[in-house]
Amino acid sequence: MHQLFHPEGKLADVQTLQATRKRSETRLFALLFAITIGITPLMTLVGVQIGFLLLASLGVVILCLLFILRWPSIGLFLAVGCVVLIEQNARPIPIGTDRLYLFYWPPQLEGLVERPIGFFFLFTLLILVGHRLSKRQRPLLGGPLFWPYCCFLLCVAWGVLHGLTSGGSLKSTVLEVRPLWYLFLSYMLAYNLLERKEQVQVFFWLVILGATFKGWQGVYIFIVQYGGQMHGHNEIMSHEESFFFVALLLLVMLFCLHHRRRGQFLVALLALPPVIFSTIANDRRADYVALLAGMGVAWCLIFVLKKRLRPLLIALMLFCALLGGAYTLAFSHASGLAGAPARAVLSVFNAQPTIDKDEYSSNIYRDIENFDLKYTAKQNPLLGYGFGKEFLQPVPLPDISEQDPYYTLVPHNTIYWIWMRLGPAGYLALWYLFGALIVRGCIIARTLRDPYLQLVAIYVVAVAVMEIIVAYADYQLFFYRNVIYLGLLAGILFKLPTLDAAQQGGERNETTRHIPLSAVAHVGR
């Protein structure tokens, strides 16, 4: 007892602890140094064999997997970060992010049935199941959209079986089915990993920052790599990039009309110049139409939810309609980037062969493609054509195999693609899935009390509508990045009521905690 309270005893104990800590740190340093010295020659040898870029990628992957082992929710943020930043395929002109092996394998590993992103999803879900089982919790939650997904996947399984037994190729079947599988996996990932409102905010920070980076990347590509000229190029970036750009424009609109998350709103506003420039330069016509539809859906939901804003919303709609009409009339025949959106929207409905030559040819190609898809679907109107087989071409398509090696398997119109492959049952299951997402999303938006979470619900419903529109014209259900993004948003949407209830409960508890005791006593009397 005397030693515990004596100053000299305290000093001796502190010195002993410091000496012990110093010895531990010395041993740890020596161990790490020995491991580094021992592993460096091995890593050098491996790097020479498989390439140092691939070796560095493996190191990053291992580090990410270690983080997920400890905190599975990190998998959600890694997923959205990869989707908004990394291209699905290598581009003709390397831009860095298209050479990251996430959605395709390096040449040394080609031929595996699953892609790296798919293994990542499965690993994250497996770790999450392990964490929950260790706590004696339910391994995975399906949520309200689970059974619509199961219904659709059951039809997909039938399409696989029917296709393989009627001459379909296994390799082609896996290629076609994989994005539909990712649509389900990403939904399960988001629905099970999302636990707090702050995670939703982090998710959308990544979406905003990702679109900002890709916008500036588009400016760099146009100015530096293409020399400021689009002659000989149809787009400057991948097709799916434009969808993320117009989705950011939709988000800015929601920040303006519904609820302003100050930090995210300001960053999104700063991102508008490069994003708008890159959207126009990338020249994807269907995305302009989808943006107009998405904004219309968001406007209708805000109109229903915010009665006091209805006069302003009506005035704003009329102003935008007049401004948009005037812009279209003024720039519909103008050359250059300034008139590109007007020309693009008009060319979707009425491309002139003498003015919009590329758009006119593209429209003709899609008309032929749609005719061939309908013809193929009618060959087996009840069971569908099945996966893994080239669709029939009673009217032959131009050979575009250099630009698209799968053009006879997956058409531009991926809505008709599902109908042709799965027949009426699979087609109805797809619409049941989208219908459940949109209708229940509208109901969720009406019941939420937190304005930010309500904004997210409106955004997800509008993006789902945009997805359907672009899927009619531009491979939308075949691109991994698009279907994964939609799946993540669907998982977030159906978790919002739980987050909102927790948020409201926390606010009530905080309010109760600050009520003066005198007030409580007064109520008691």
DSSP state letters, 31-60:
HHHHHHHHHHHHHHHHHHHH-HHHHHHHHH
Q: Tell me how far CA of residue 126 lies from CA of 82, 115, 177, 181, 465, in angstroms.
A: 20, 17, 22, 16, 32
Number of domains in the chain: 1
How much is the pLDDT for 473? 87
How much is the pLDDT for 107? 77
How much is the pLDDT for 524? 43
Q: Which of 330-339, 361-370, 448-457 has the lowest mean pLDDT?
A: 330-339
Domain-located, residue 445: yes
Which pTM was predicted?
0.85
Domain with 336 in it: 71-209+309-506
pLDDT at residue 99 tops 60:
yes
How much is the pLDDT for 330? 74
How much is the pLDDT for 172? 93
Q: Which of 7-11, 12-16, 96-100, 208-212 has the lowest mean pLDDT?
A: 7-11
How much is the pLDDT for 402? 83
Domain-located, residue 326: yes
Domain-located, residue 254: no
How much is the pLDDT for 484? 96
Which stretches does DSSP call E strand in 422-467?
Answer: none
pLDDT at residue 453 tops 80:
yes
For residue 1, what pLDDT band results from cuts at 50, 70 and 90?
very low
pLDDT at residue 275 tops 70:
yes
Longest Cα separation, the chain? 101
How much is the pLDDT for 45? 44
User: What sign does the dihedral 124-128-130-131 (CA atoms) show?
Assistant: positive
What is the mean pLDDT of the segment spanning 238-255? 94
How much is the pLDDT for 5? 47
Domain-located, residue 396: yes
How much is the pLDDT for 335? 66
What is the mean pLDDT of the segment spanning 399-410? 88
Rounded to whole angstroms, how far apart are CA atoms 209 and 85? Answer: 9
Residue with the bigger pLDDT between 261 and 48: it is 261
Q: For residue range 73-96, list pLDDT tens digits in order.
A: 999 999 999 999 999 988 888 888
Looking at every residue in the chain, the average pLDDT score rounds to 84
For residue 52, what pLDDT band results from cuts at 50, 70 and 90?
low
How much is the pLDDT for 21? 66
Q: For residue range 425-446, list pLDDT tens digits in order.
A: 999 999 999 999 999 999 999 9
* Burial 324-333, CB ≥16 within 10 A → b, else e: eeeeeeebee
How much is the pLDDT for 58? 72
Q: Which of 110-124, 244-258, 322-336, 481-495 has the lowest mean pLDDT?
A: 322-336
For residue 261, what pLDDT band results from cuts at 50, 70 and 90?
confident
Residue with the bigger pLDDT between 62 and 371: it is 371
How much is the pLDDT for 4? 44
How much is the pLDDT for 513? 56
How many CB atoms within 10 Å of residue 441? 26
Domain-located, residue 322: yes
For residue 191, what pLDDT band results from cuts at 50, 70 and 90?
very high
pLDDT at residue 17 tops 50:
yes
What are the phi and psi torsion angles at 258 (to 5°)? -110, -60
Which candidate, 264, 132, 116, places its Cα nearest to that of 193? 132
pLDDT at residue 37 tops 60:
no
What is the mean pLDDT of the segment spanning 20-33? 63
Q: Tell me how far CA of residue 315 lies from CA of 215, 227, 250, in angstroms.
A: 31, 42, 19
For residue 126, what pLDDT band results from cuts at 50, 70 and 90?
very high
Domain-located, residue 277: no
What is the mean pLDDT of the segment spanning 446-458? 95
